[in-house]
Structure 1
Amino acid sequence: MVASGCVFNNYIDRDIDRKMERTKNRVLVKGLISPEASLVYATLLGIAGFMLLWFGANPLACWLGVMGFVVYVGVYSLYMKRHSVYGTLIGSLSGAAPPVIGYCAVTGDFDSGAAILLAIFSLWQMPHSYAIAIFRFKDYQAANIPVLPVVKGISVAKNHITVYIIAFAVATLMLSLGGYAGYKYLVVAAAVSVWWLGMALRGYKVADDKVWARKLFVFSIVAITALSVMMSVDFMVPDSHNLLTMVR
């Protein structure tokens, strides 16, 4: 489903992708495959993803995948990305879907652990995406995409980045406090959050916003990778893991 959503996104964005340095070499922009072929490919990938989740995991995981797909393709790609400064926020929800789906595929429940994962990965994407928008500022400006740094200014974006990293730090700690991860994870989560926040605060004094934003972006990948690894190796099963069960 993720692959399907990405192909549909490339199809939808092919007109603005040619205006951006970052995306101008995508296959649809360069005409290496036809738009019609990409639609067929995206549809087949979506069907395959749906069936794999339904028959290989459980209905909950499948419907979460469908919801993530609809938000990403239908809400974000088709409308919010081009028309609203809040497009990044909406897109972050679909971006956080894969780890939540993986969790629910195992547990069969959307419980407090799933909600915490949704918060962690959604909040992480905000400073990550704003950092890209800052060091690729001219790209987004040329394509007329209303991301926060372009619409409200880089100084406002820096404030949002700082707030989101603080919220991200709190969310990461909740996995250990909720009994879903051990102290090794807690130490790593605290360390990467403090370091990332420190980098964000230094952004208020830098001379070159683009250099700073690129470093912030690179560390965001290091941070989420470190947390994902620690979630895998230091996981725990709490005594009562279904306090926030919403769907069974």
Structure 2
Amino acid sequence: MRPSVVLRPYLLLAKPRIVCANLVAACGGFFLAGGGGAGLFLVAMAGIALVVASGCVCNNCIDRDIDREMARTRERPLPAGAVSPAAAWVYGALLGLAGGLVLWLGTNALCLGIVAAGFVVYVGVYSLLLKRRHSLLATLLGSLAGAAPPVAAYCAARGRFDGGAALLLAIFSLWQIPHAHAIALYRRDEYAAAGVPVVSLTRGAPATRRLLVGHIAAFVLVAPLLTVGGYAGYAYFTAATVAGLAWLALALAGPSSPDAARAWAGKLVFASIGVIFLLSVLMACDAA
């Protein structure tokens, strides 16, 4: 077999799109902190990418029974039988160890600690303990793992956890929560087939809409504070305000009919991706 055929399932196990999305956010955090040279940037991005990829592989291992029940995931390498669970666990462990070693040798203890904490929360707390038991708590704590890459990159460049790092943690956590709820509402039938107790199933679409609106409103209030605190410029402030309000308007316009909720949730998912991509780019380009 050609090497590309053999290696492709292992590439897919690492969820490259999620890794790339996390690197965009990490770039925003790194340059928001003022940067630290090309060498530090490359080392930080490589280490963060490897640990995020490791977390994705481990998540695939844990969720392989769920993935068999969902239409969009049943062709992933583990449920499809392209990779054995034992090989996947070894692969994930090697990625994580390599990423940790890169960060340990090339960044600082704070950066490594934040990335490691994000990994533990995502794999241990979210995937293993809470995802199948507590819908709200899983989303809340899982959001901290989603915020780890930009915060870690910021601390790699600045060397300390300060107000800018705290704001990044709040911004990315507040973004992650409504993004996750929107995905769960959009994929509600698939989560029901897999028996995953997401909020849209346990509490219904109206309660999910209220959670979405509340967290997006909090995001709109917090995101511009990077400029107020002197960490970002006015281009970022304008984009954070306008994009956040547009996202909130879309959330407020949610339909009362359950039949129309899925299409609306899909629009919210794509809107949330656009918002965080725009803000991550402007964090990097318009740091104060």
Determine the C-alpha separation between the residues in 1 that align with 2:145 and 2:115: 9
Residue of structure 1 equivalent to 2:166: 115
| In 2: Cα distance, 1:7 partner to 1:169 partner | 33
**Equivalent position amino acid for 2:237 in 1:** L
Task: Report the Cα distance in structure 1 between the residues aligned to 2:285 and 2:156, rounded to whole angstroms.
Answer: 18
Counterpart check, 1:151 vs 2:221: no
1:141 corresponds in structure 2 to 192
SS at match of 2:132: helix
Alignment match, 1:8:
58
Letter in 2 for 1:191: V
User: What are the Cα deviations for residues 183-205 of structure 1, in whole angstroms up to 9, with x where unaligned?
Assistant: 01000000101100000000045
- Equivalence for 1:190: 241
Displacement of 1:88 = 1.1
Alignment partner, residue 93 of structure 1: 144
Aligned to 2:263: 211
- Say whether the 8 Å CA contact 1:27–1:33 is kept in structure 2: yes
Partner of 2:108: 58
Q: Segments of 4+ in structure 1 off by > 6 A?
A: none
Measured after TM superposition, the shift of residue 126 of structure 1 is: 1.1
Task: Tell whether the 8 Å contact from 1:14 to 1:29 is kept in structure 2 after alignment.
Answer: yes
Q: Which has the higher contact order (CA 8 A, sep 6+)?
A: 2
Q: CA deviation at 1:22?
A: 2.3
Give the structure 2 partner of residue 178 of structure 1: 229
Give, as a single letter, the amino acid of the residue that structure 1 aligns with 2:97.
I
| Aligned equivalents of 1:2, 1:10: Cα separation in 2 | 12
Equivalent pair of 2:235/2:282 in contact (CA under 8 Å): yes
The one-letter amino acid of 2:93's match is: T
SS at match of 2:155: helix
Aligned counterpart in structure 2 of residue 44 of structure 1, from 72, 87, 94: 94
Give 1:224's aligned amino acid. Answer: I
Match of residue 132 from structure 1:
183
Instruction: Return the match for 1:17 from 67, 73, 77.
Output: 67
Please give the root-mean-square deviation of Cα atoms over the aligned residues, in Å.
1.0
- Give the gaps of 5 or more residues in structure 2: 1-50
Contact 1:181–1:235 (CA under 8 A) maintained in structure 2: yes
1:78 is aligned, of 118, 121, 128, to: 128
Identity %: 50
Q: Residues 109-138 of structure 1: CA distance to partner in whole angstroms, max 9, x if unpaired?
A: 111111100111111011111111111101
Q: Give the distance between the partners of 1:22 and 1:125, measured in 2 at CA.
A: 21
The answer to whether the 8 A contact 2:174-2:216 is kept is yes
State the match for 1:163 in structure 2. Answer: 214
- The residue aligned with 1:224 is 276
| TM-score for the superposition, normalised by structure 2 | 0.80
CA distance in 2, matches of 1:93, 1:22: 25
- Residue deviations 1:197-237 (CA, integer Å, cap 9, x gap): 0000000456611111101100100000000011000001x
Q: Is the 8 A contact 1:87 1:147 kept in 2?
A: no
2:181 & 2:102 partners in 1: Cα distance?
33
Taking the aligned partners of 1:23 and 1:112, their CA distance within structure 2 comes to 39
Asked if the contact 1:185/1:227 (under 8 Å) is kept, the reply is: yes
TM-score by length of 1: 0.93
Letter in structure 1 aligned against 2:187: R
Task: Number of aligned residue pairs: give it.
Answer: 236
Tell me which protein shows more helix as a share of its residues.
Answer: 2
